[in-house]
Amino acid sequence: MTANHSISFDEPKTNRSKCWYCQALILKDDIRVNNFFRYRVERFHLLCFKPRFKEPIEERTCSKKFDKPTMEVVKTWIADWNSQFKSRNSIDVRLKVHKMHLGVRKVNRVRMWLEVLKWLPGIEVIKSISRVSRMFYSLSWNQEIFKYFCLVEFNSKQAFKCYRSLYSEIYKEACYICKSVNPDKKYKRYYHTNRNLCKSCDPNFVNKGDIKDNWKVNPNRLCLKYLRVKYCRKRVESHWINRSILSMRKKRKEKLFFACRRKKKFAGVFEKIKMIDNCRLNNLEKDEILLKQLSGESEDLELLLAALWFIYEVKEKYSLEKFFKKFCKEN
């Protein structure tokens, strides 16, 4: 049995206990099952009871006060339940040695692991995989694999004595995103990653102060993780801003639907607004066209568009009362 869970079988002394499953009284002559689960006792008829966990039940849980016929009934029920599990004596606990490892030579194993490590980025081979064991540590200094990483990741064909040190030097000098190494380009050093960024990749990062001007949203309301750059400026990638705005729109939509279901006055409003589930909430113009196509020239179009505008207004706080007051007057 698991922790905080046990089962026992007995005959009740009174007729007061109720079955947890069928809600009928358990009589004195019936066989009662007591299921102790998380500081409470659940009582069942034997026929109504189904164990909560798929585990074998031991016979010692039966009460010693049972008669022979009742004891046999309980034992047969336990045997039927335990028939789906293997007995402990039949389980083979001995260590199973794989025959494949015995036949493979050490040289072939090294060749196999080198081919596997080529699927990983080179920085992970240096930082994490070299800590696994002695064999992997020796593989992390292999010249062949780091020559491959320099060619694939940075497209460098330089001849060098130690390709691992060459890879680490290029890794620090190259761009963080496009991985280009060009001395003519201008790079900026970002201290949060200790890496460089070229000018073509730098516009992907946005200052915290520019979010309000470009997206017209208060940046403090967006759940963003900012990167601290030199002179204590906070920067974030633009795609994270779009994702957080989209998640806020989805929350506003869920809150609007929940308020419509909860209030009886607006039960009809919820049935009309259901079409907004088909919108992706990425582009206002596309969603407006989609709603016009779905609704046609119905009277609910104004209500649908007002609900859509309410969801898109992320810059304002939740003002559901104002939204509902408009449609109270109209309806």
Token duo for residue 236: 């974030």
What pLDDT, on the 0 to 100 scale, is given for residue 90? 57
Residues 309-329: what's their mean pLDDT? 64
pLDDT tens digits along 133-148: 888 998 889 889 999 9
Please calculate the CA angle 71-76-77 and round it to the nearest 5 degrees. Answer: 100
Question: Percent of the chain, pLDDT > 90?
Answer: 1
- Topology (CATH) of 5-88: first zn-finger domain of poly(adp-ribose) polymerase-1 (3.30.1740)
Ranges assigned E (strand) in the chain = 5-10, 32-37, 41-45, 187-190, 195-198, 205-207, 227-228, 234-237
Question: When comparing pLDDT for 43 and 93, which is higher?
Answer: 43
Question: What is the model's pLDDT at position 317?
Answer: 58
Question: Mean pLDDT of all residues in the chain?
Answer: 78
DSSP single-letter state for residue 232: G
Per residue in 167-223, pLDDT (tens digit) is 888 888 888 778 777 766 677 776 656 777 777 776 677 888 888 888 878 888 888
> Rounded to 5 degrees, what are φ and ψ at 147?
-65, -40
pLDDT digits (tens, 9 = 90+) for 70-105: 888 888 888 888 888 766 555 544 444 444 444 445
**Would the pLDDT of 4 be above 70?**
no
Give the pLDDT of residue 96: 45
DSSP structure class, residue 25: B
Q: How far apart are CA 177 and CA 55, in angstroms?
A: 52
Domain map of the chain by residue range?
Answer: 5-88, 99-173, 189-242, 249-330
Higher pLDDT, 329 or 219: 219
Rounded Cα distance between 32 and 42, Å, is 10
Greater confidence, 263 or 214?
214
Give the integer Cα–Cα distance in Å for 248 and 218: 12
**CATH for 99-173, options being 1.20.1280, 1.20.1740, 1.10.1060, 3.30.70:** 1.20.1280
